[in-house]
Structure 1
């Protein structure tokens, strides 16, 4: 069951190929035997079936089998049969959970205290619900009903995501977990490096030399080339600014340790000024598309696809995006290599990451059976990580076979793996052609796809080889973990009062001045004025509130 994330037009490609673009769902726990059956709950006659209401968004990628709907479907039937939990929908809207229709209807339900028994909530909504005394403390329910496998699974990130759902020592929300260890990497046209006899980038200066060579020597033969692909959205998963900034030890929109026991905002640190200075220099040299500020990821990618840019920063799924042009007519026409982030100095670059989740499951104070949430969670974790053949109903429906319906989206409770050992397993398995090394469902799928490329059976699987193969994207993750090169945001609480009021204004001012500096419309010294203004316009108040929160959770 692969978690779908919207990333522009590349989503269609990723869905059709069945990959998980932004989160790996590989199991780190010891796996039961292949024919293991998820532990069935004891449903006593006295207890009977537990009925629990929820609210749903009908994702556009969910398609129902004939005769089925949100109110009656194979997945809901399976949960009732296997866990004793009957799921009822209080309402269903079109779109996604984070889409405007769902959020507006949920906002109204919270305002009128007409919430269902179980539903997903944002961090801000969790805080609002706690303050209104509308949701239950799940501490004892979780302790009593969570399986040993669930308790182990939910702690795989060291317990940070579970801690983020805990308020004043009470577990008020269960996180929809995800793998936070998704690095930014730098991708370079290796065929162009070979053509121009350029060494692989080991430092930021090496990478800048490559950018300049690509822009001035035009290895794509287009008549006009640039050095670095950027788009208007700074934090985009591919073609964004984050990876470049991290190379200067600058981090976008994070809270980091201040060296005095507190936290400080990353956007206003001296390292950010130097990163902006570096980008401004690239722009002045003509190494950045002068129109990048008005282009989204797909529009800017047209320059990559048409051989005008050969360097970009992006997440591990980037090859799935590049495949739109890299593979044509049965041939690989663009060759790419991936590298860890080069650093501007002798200190290795860390790649910034977030908590790994932004959605939580909560239970209404009025719900009679809060344990139903935990039973659904147990079943999802068991089935998603070691399904029996019969349990494929949770992924594919009654047909038990993939047909593009995305039936897994029907599950009202989900938890995705908090860590992955793909980087240790897949490159070695693919290099040695040892299928036995691939243990989890995700590893087996990725191994099979990559080997189709290796064996010449399906050249379009090039993208999977570049993700999972030797020297592929995931091969860099073990090194990053071993050397502690993941820079995690230290603030994971609900938005503070001043954040709610001022953050949007502050971020808009930040983006405006950063863009002007990069495009050389203002002096780099405007950064210092921005810092002063940021503090006066609410930044200092937010910093105080963040540190009050930090003092409580340490």
Structure 2
């Protein structure tokens, strides 16, 4: 999710601000507080080799360009203030073996792995990690990490109890550094409160309320457009906004994750009876005209145009959804749409749980041929320190040599990143903003968000989106109750893709999406779901399930 939001923001300012926080950092990422004189801050200084040697350790990597990264004048991926700072502060000289456009990076990386032409360290996904282990191309980092990671890094990387580090551990060996992140991001229901008031409708608490609201928004057309719908969705059913994940979770259906069957075995969420119930509800909505009949050919941006144009007033989305909604909510310097955010309604008396992953999608691996693997851990130490205990001096790692935020996503120049595995934004920000009390703020992220939200409070409506995320009635204000009641359904499978997954999963997912969309659009009867389940099992699903449970038996 961190990356998905970037492609859907139409306003350049919002794209620049939010891509760096709401998705690429804060989704995963509140940051612990520590003063420059704290043990945390001093630990990285003790790890710096600057006083030990005049010879920098050189390590190579590969990079993907990013459309949201703006270089300072005269700079490039090869020569920039971030690379210079790492060389100065921790004695590590970073070189780029190659740089590729983001759209071509994975293909080029696959070719490099296949030809064993890899740099000293580089980012991979879970499948590539498994491939590299089997090919004996990457280094066991157990001892390197133990000797070179400082105490603060070790504490930071295991705040979740060590689960994310465990995903990078094979047969007791640490084979990669996980790009840690906060998995505890809920889906929410976003509704036009001004329309609820106009039509005298109650705020949504159940899925029946959702249906009632959707029908009223469709039939009574509170936006006055002459062509309205009940809910906004797009062809990518699981997108962070205008997706259906939150809707399905309201039926206790969980897409593309493995859940406990109650008897100690793992089962795949997509093929459970609850998914059929959710699809039936969506098909009924489609029959009633509550869903845009062209949704299957629209991406998030196109689907969102219905929201901007007052044709839809109900949508499921992540906490950062206001960064998308702002394009219609704020016009000509005024807030013209009043959106409210609500916990996921449930179809029955059992509370809805928002599905979440483990929080790791990227791993950093080190080639067996690397001469200085310890340099990679030095980079990790320094990034964690500078990102969580920011001083005027180390702001260079986020903003460049002038140390001034320019909405340029300059921090993307860091070749290795790790983020907090939890945050306290929901406990801190709403109260701080409501009471204008900066003393409550604990992290850099909270200070940044508070500053933007207070701009809105003081009349800058362009910051509406931040207020809707972090303010007293914003999305993060709902997290304390969600966490207190453990309203998350976490994927129980965190191992490397099984052999049959590698071979069959892409085909199975494609088939799933085709069948689900046909059912929703009433082009196939609801019983087509049962046929899909039977086909899924025969085409590899049963074997995948066996492999997943063999893994589960070893780790639980």
TM-score (norm 2): 0.95
Question: Is 1:83 aligned to residue 90 of structure 2?
Answer: yes
Which is worse superposed, 253-262 or 167-176?
253-262
Give the C-alpha shift of residue 61 in structure 1: 2.6
Partner in structure 1 of residue 17 of structure 2: 17
Give the Cα separation in 2 of the matches to 1:447 and 1:3. 23
CA distances 1:424-483 after superposition (whole Å, capped 9, x unpaired):
000001111112112211111111111121222x01211111110112101111111111
Partner in structure 2 of residue 505 of structure 1: 507
CA distances 1:386-422 after superposition (whole Å, capped 9, x unpaired):
1210111112222222234432111111111211110
Partner in structure 1 of residue 72 of structure 2: 65
Give the Cα separation in 1 of the matches to 2:59 and 2:148. 16
Change (3 A) 1:3 1:514: closer
Give the Cα separation in 2 of the matches to 1:104 and 1:396. 30
2:298 to 295, 300, 303: 295
Question: Is 1:481 aligned to residue 487 of structure 2?
Answer: no
- Cα contact 1:124–1:494 (8 A) shared by 2: yes
Q: Secondary structure at the match of 1:32?
A: coil
Give the Cα separation in 2 of the matches to 1:219 and 1:314. 22
Partner in structure 1 of residue 464 of structure 2: 462
Q: Secondary structure at the match of 2:21?
A: coil
Unaligned runs of 5+ in 1: none
Give the C-alpha shift of residue 33 in structure 1: 4.6
Q: Secondary structure at the match of 2:405?
A: coil
1:39 to 36, 42, 45: 45
- Cα contact 2:33–2:388 (8 A) shared by 1: no
Change (3 A) 1:356 1:14: farther
- Cα contact 2:33–2:442 (8 A) shared by 1: no
1:336-351 alignment to 2 at 5 Å?
A: 336-351=339-354
Give the Cα separation in 1 of the matches to 2:228 and 2:53. 73
Give the C-alpha shift of residue 10 in structure 1: 4.2
Partner in structure 2 of residue 538 of structure 1: 540
Partner in structure 1 of residue 427 of structure 2: 424
Change (3 A) 1:349 1:440: same
Q: Cα RMSD over matched residues?
A: 1.9
Q: Secondary structure at the match of 1:54?
A: strand
Give the C-alpha shift of residue 72 in structure 1: 2.3
Q: Secondary structure at the match of 2:495?
A: coil
Change (3 A) 1:67 1:289: closer
Change (3 A) 1:58 1:7: closer
2:178 to 164, 169, 175: 175
Give the C-alpha shift of residue 44 in structure 1: 6.1
Give the Cα separation in 1 of the matches to 2:446 and 2:11. 21
Partner in structure 2 of residue 284 of structure 1: 287
- Cα contact 1:34–1:386 (8 A) shared by 2: no
Give the C-alpha shift of residue 29 in structure 1: 3.6
- Cα contact 2:4–2:240 (8 A) shared by 1: no
Give the Cα separation in 1 of the matches to 2:450 and 2:246. 28
- Cα contact 1:14–1:20 (8 A) shared by 2: no
TM-score (norm 1): 0.95
Give the Cα separation in 1 of the matches to 2:445 and 2:230. 35
1:429-444 alignment to 2 at 5 Å?
A: 429-444=432-447
CA distances 1:14-63 after superposition (whole Å, capped 9, x unpaired):
33335523351654545225895652424465684221111122223333
Which is worse superposed, 81-90 or 268-277?
81-90
CA distances 1:232-287 after superposition (whole Å, capped 9, x unpaired):
11111101111100000000111111222221111110100111111111111211
CA distances 1:111-155 after superposition (whole Å, capped 9, x unpaired):
222211111111111111111111111111111111111111111
Change (3 A) 1:353 1:7: farther
- Cα contact 1:123–1:359 (8 A) shared by 2: yes
Partner in structure 2 of residue 266 of structure 1: 269
Question: Is 1:105 aligned to residue 108 of structure 2?
Answer: yes
2:62 to 55, 61, 82: 55
Question: Is 1:125 aligned to residue 128 of structure 2?
Answer: yes
Change (3 A) 1:495 1:13: farther
Q: Secondary structure at the match of 2:8?
A: coil
- Cα contact 1:499–1:542 (8 A) shared by 2: yes
- Cα contact 1:5–1:11 (8 A) shared by 2: no
Question: Is 1:248 aligned to residue 255 of structure 2?
Answer: no
Give the Cα separation in 1 of the matches to 2:68 and 2:463. 23
1:289-368 alignment to 2 at 5 Å?
A: 289-368=292-371
Give the Cα separation in 2 of the matches to 1:172 and 1:16. 34
Give the Cα separation in 2 of the matches to 1:553 and 1:122. 21
How many equivalent residue pairs?
548
Q: Secondary structure at the match of 1:39?
A: helix
Q: Secondary structure at the match of 1:114?
A: coil
Partner in structure 1 of residue 6 of structure 2: 6
Change (3 A) 1:218 1:445: same
Q: Secondary structure at the match of 2:337?
A: coil
- Cα contact 2:225–2:310 (8 A) shared by 1: yes
CA distances 1:198-251 after superposition (whole Å, capped 9, x unpaired):
111111111211111111111111122111111111111101111100000000
Partner in structure 2 of residue 139 of structure 1: 142
